Amino acid sequence: MLMMKRVLLLLLLLPSLAQAKALCPQSVTTVEINQCLTVKLERAVDELDSNLDLIRIRHAADPVLLKLIEQSQRNWEAYRKKQCQSVFRLYDGGSIQSLMTVSCAIQLARERNTLLRQTYLEGR
């Protein structure tokens, strides 16, 4: 039974490790991947801030819309925090714990950026 659990855990880890490695293909060691992912996260957060600034400018004439967007952003940030905390917990004690947690934050920030751009900045 213990062997089966280990095999299942390994199967769950493989796609996540592949995703982290795909984000930083030039990185070899876990330390290098962590450093690269930290830079990727900073870029995704900067893009998020920029998108929100552009939304505020573009929709300045609609304060009700802006208030709703700000509320949804706070809710999304709470969701991101809890989601990535659950990833942190899933890999508790593992050497890839921080790597997987940062990968979670990058993925969610990228998804949020796409949603913000498509919904509030493109078209109309």
Q: Is residue 42 part of a domain?
A: yes
What is the reported pLDDT for 121? Answer: 96
Q: Is residue 55 part of a domain?
A: yes
pLDDT tens digits for range 53-111: 999 999 999 999 999 999 999 999 999 999 999 999 988 887 778 888 888 999 999 99
Quick check: 7 pLDDT over 50?
no
Which has more confidence, 12 or 97? 97
Q: Indicate if the alpha-carbon torsion angle 15, 17, 18, 23 is positive or negative.
A: positive
pLDDT tens digits for range 89-104: 988 887 778 888 888 9
Q: The CATH number of the domain where 66 resides is what?
A: 1.20.1270.180
Range of the domain at 70: 34-121
Quick check: 12 pLDDT over 50?
no
Run of H or E residues at 28: none
Q: Is residue 99 part of a domain?
A: yes
Q: How many domains does the chain have?
A: 1
Q: Is residue 74 part of a domain?
A: yes
